[in-house]
């Protein structure tokens, strides 16, 4: 069975406006007297760029990953009050080209903020004219995916039969774990479940499986909703320190949703700051490939078939590839 990474990010030049990194830059700058956000910003902005996707694919090769689902994120004016240098129309063309250049290796998604009047037309054309394979990553802000403003795009995805990837980590953007763990938070998994109930034909991926605080509610919310699957990206963060806990969670997810609805994913980002020596993709993939042996060390049983399904078989089924 193939190894498929169901969730990662490749960025072109000028896709992210400086506003996206302002908080992070201020945080870094505050740690040393001689540093200013202006000194740090170019490194943050440039460090994620991979214009051809070649470096990203080389990184996949080192980890034995056959195919990756690549996300687009519209982090422009509706979200950060500032448009990126490269407009979203051009970003869609970039992802179409990326998919052409790395055919069968990279599968690209489209994501346009629903507050842009053109979002439906752009999304439809990205899928039908440019051949992008899904919608995502959506990081709900202001409204959840179940809210009215999102419904036309969600109906379109159901109509076209393409999966939608929705961020359900408790923190958003450069804030890893967040501070609001209530359902008032628009990225809470219950909103994805509500949408899934209303549109049973829509395939939904709960990205990051509620990392870290909603790990259980994410699985419980979708237990009876076969159109939803979990992706386990971000769960490799510090997994060596608490392997027993991660194994226990994987086993609980399996009890609640079944091994056939868990997808291997990394949230791997492109660019020099994240690939090569700095990437832990190989370790993470090997951990899931060797899940039967890893689980046995902690008194839990996973079969080879289950590990292979999580590692790629499930994603291949969800995406019909
Ligand atoms: Zn995310």
In this structure, how many other beta carbons lie within 10 angstroms of the beta carbon of residue 219?
24
Compute mean pLDDT per 10 residues along the chain, 321 residues long, and list them: 96 91 76 76 85 98 98 94 96 98 98 97 98 97 95 98 97 82 95 98 98 96 98 89 93 98 97 94 97 97 98 98 94
Provide the β-strand partners of residue 68.
5, 106
What confidence score (pLDDT) does residue 14 get?
A: 94
CA of 171 to the centre of ligand 1 (A): 9
Per the CB < 8 A criterion, the answer to whether 225 and 197 are in contact is yes
What confidence score (pLDDT) does residue 24 get?
A: 72
Kindly list the strands in the beta sheet with 164-167, ordered across the sheet, starting from the edge strand earlier in the chain: 262-263, 228-231, 204-207, 164-167, 134-138, 106-110, 67-71, 4-9, 268-269
| Segments forming the whole domain that contains residue 14 | 4-319
Strands in 35-159 per DSSP E: 67-71, 106-110, 134-138
The total of structural domains in the chain comes to: 1
What confidence score (pLDDT) does residue 303 get?
A: 98
Q: What does the DSSP assignment read for 203-241? A: -EEEEGGGTTTTHHHHHHHHTT-TTEEEE-TTTTTTTTT
3-class SS of residue 205: strand
CA of 299 to the centre of ligand 1 (A): 31
CA of 207 to the centre of ligand 1 (A): 6
CA of 168 to the centre of ligand 1 (A): 7
Per the CB < 8 A criterion, the answer to whether 98 and 138 are in contact is no
CA of 167 to the centre of ligand 1 (A): 4
What confidence score (pLDDT) does residue 40 get?
A: 77
Q: Tell me, what CATH number does 302's domain have?
A: 3.20.20.140
Per the CB < 8 A criterion, the answer to whether 35 and 29 are in contact is yes
3-class SS of residue 139: coil
Provide the β-strand partners of residue 135.
110, 164
């Amino acid at each position: 069975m193939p190894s498929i990474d169901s969730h990662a990010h490749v960025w072109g030049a000028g896709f992210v406006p400086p506003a996206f990194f302002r908080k992070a830059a201020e945080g870094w700058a505050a740690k040393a007297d001689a540093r200013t956000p202006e000194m740090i910003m170019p490194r943050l902005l440039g460090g994620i760029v991979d214009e051809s996707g070649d470096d990203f694919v080389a990184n996949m090769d080192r980890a034995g990953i056959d195919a990756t689902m690549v996300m687009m994120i519209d982090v422009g004016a509706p979200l950060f009050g500032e448009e990126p240098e490269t407009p979203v129309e051009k970003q869609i063309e970039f992802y179409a080209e990326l998919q052409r250049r790395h055919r069968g290796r990279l599968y690209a998604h489209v994501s346009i903020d629903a507050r842009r009047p053109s979002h439906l037309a752009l999304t439809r054309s990205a899928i039908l004219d440019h051949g992008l394979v899904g919608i995502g990553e959506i990081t709900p802000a202001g409204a959840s995916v179940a809210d009215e403003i999102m419904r036309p795009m969600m109906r379109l995805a159901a109509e076209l039969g393409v999966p939608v990837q929705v961020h359900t980590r408790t923190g958003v953007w450069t804030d890893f774990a967040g501070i609001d763990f209530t359902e008032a938070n628009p990225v809470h998994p219950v909103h994805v479940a509500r949408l899934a109930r209303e549109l049973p034909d829509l395939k939904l991926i709960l990205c990051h499986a509620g990392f870290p605080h909603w790990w259980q509610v994410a699985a419980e919310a979708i237990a009876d909703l076969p159109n939803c699957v979990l992706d386990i990206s971000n769960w490799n963060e510090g997994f060596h320190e608490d392997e027993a806990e991660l194994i226990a969670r994987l086993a609980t997810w399996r009890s609640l949703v079944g091994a056939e609805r868990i997808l291997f994913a990394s949230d791997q980002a492109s660019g020099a700051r994240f690939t090569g020596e700095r990437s832990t993709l190989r370790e993470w993939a090997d951990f899931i490939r060797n899940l039967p042996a890893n689980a046995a060390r902690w008194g839990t049983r996973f079969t080879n078939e289950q590990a292979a399904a999580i590692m790629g078989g499930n994603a291949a089924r969800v995406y019909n590839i």
